[in-house]
Amino acid sequence: MYQRLRDAALGVHALRVERRLEHAWVQVDIDAWSLTLELGEHGLARCLACQTAEGAHADSEHWPRAGSDPCELLSQWERTRIEHLLRG
C-alpha cells in the first residue's frame, strides 16, 4: 500500500478519486488497487482499507502499531503530493 501511494506521488501510477464518502473519507484507485483514505483537518490522516488488484484486503486492524499505517511511511513531500492529487 505504501508503495502504491509513493508511486502515485512520484507520478509512476495515476491516482484517481473514485468517490468521496462520509466522514472525510476518499476512495481512490491506484493501478487497480482500491484504497480508502481519511482526510483530517491537517490533510492526509490515515489509510483505512486497501484492496489489491488480486482481491486481497487489508484494513487498519492490520497496522495497529504507531508508525505502521501506510500513510505514516510517506515522506513529507510524498504526503503533500498525495494531498494535492486528492484535491484534484
| Maximal C-alpha separation, the chain | 33
Q: Please state the pTM of the whole predicted model.
A: 0.89
pLDDT band of residue 63 (cuts 50, 70, 90) is confident
pLDDT in tens, 11-48: 999 999 999 988 899 999 999 999 999 998 889 999 99
Q: What's the pLDDT at 39? A: 93
Closest CA to 70 of 41, 28, 20, 23: 28
Q: Which pLDDT value is given to residue 69?
A: 87
Average pLDDT, the chain: 92
